[in-house]
Amino acid sequence: MHLAYLLTSDSEYLEVAALIDSLIVEDDQVFVIHNNPKVMDRLRIYYGNHPEVHLYPAQDFALTGDLSLARGTLVMLREALESTFDYVINLTDGMAPIKPRDQLVSYLEEHPQDHYQIYSDEHKDPSLRKKYERYYPFTNLSYFQHEGFTRLLSKGLASIIHLFKKRNFPYTYVITSPWFVLSRATARLLVEHFGFLSQNFMLFWYPEEVWLGTMLEMLNHHEHINNDLRWLYPDGDFYPGISPAKGSQQPTGARPVFFAAKRSSE
């Protein structure tokens, strides 16, 4: 079995390099977007002759006014389809494998479905439609994710814009964990509908947590296991709008876990 990893990072060079080195085994592929040009230059120097490592510059603007994570993931999915893989797995800063590769492969052979976690949808929470039908300015700013005042101002202006412009979205909004394990067939299906992202998630509120589940719902693709195989936050669960870098405890319980965020104390 061949695996492809997608990695979006802001971390120091040594941390990123250590993670890449742990992933490029058995001819597995790693696709990396790094937001620091200096770190990217060092990665190019070291991994320039490694056919398993594919490096891409940061995307400051994913869309005309939107953060880059959602589109960057699709871009890397598109590039990954040029290589050989059976499953594609996306990671982010502070997240790394915690079990041997052969255990992951055995699990995927036993459970040959897609793996991603659905958190909610607008049928369970009708307020999501009201929230997502608005256009939010400033989402393309690099500090939008962590600057409270900017997000508050964006929400206020979105209410004004909403008086004149609303989204005409005929599908169901679905919130999922941004991290997943997808088969090659599902990755190809998403890439074939690449334009759906630009057409429907411009100036959107955290599109990285909505695009995957919403696109798969639109495509009537529902065959999956509701588990992203990650232990992300202090209790191991996924929470929209919160970075996994807040840390995690040791995974417990029966839920299969193969990746975990770095502990906050480390």
Please tell me what DSSP assigns to residue 244.
G
Mean pLDDT rounded to a whole number for the chain: 85
At 215 the three-state DSSP class reads: helix
Q: How far apart are CA 248 and CA 234, in angstroms?
A: 4
Could you tell me where the DSSP H helices lie in 58-182? Answer: 69-80, 101-110, 127-132, 148-162
- C-alpha torsion 143→145→150→155, nearest 10: 150
Pairing status of strand 87-92 against strand 181-183: antiparallel
Q: pLDDT by residue (tens digit) across 1-19?
A: 999 999 988 888 998 999 9
Domains of the chain (ranges, CATH numbers): 3-132+169-261 (3.90.550)
Pairing status of strand 29-34 against strand 53-57: parallel
Q: pLDDT by residue (tens digit) across 74-108?
A: 989 999 999 999 999 998 877 889 899 999 999 99
For the record, the structure tokens of 154 come out as 């964006």
Q: pLDDT by residue (tens digit) across 162-214?
A: 888 888 899 999 999 888 999 999 999 999 999 898 888 888 888 888 999 99
Q: What is the pLDDT of residue 213?
A: 94
Give the number of other CB atoms < 10 A from CB of residue 240. Answer: 15
Torsion angles phi and psi, residue 119, rounded to 5: -90, -45
How far is the CA of 89 from the CAs of 31, 97, 115, 170, 266, in angstroms? 10, 11, 9, 29, 24
Q: How far apart are CA 85 and CA 5, in angstroms?
A: 10
Asked if residue 220 has pLDDT above 80, the reply is yes
Per-residue confidence band for 143, with pLDDT thresholds at 50, 70 and 90: low
Q: What is the pTM of this model?
A: 0.87
Q: pLDDT by residue (tens digit) across 26-64?
A: 889 999 988 788 999 999 999 989 999 999 876 655 444
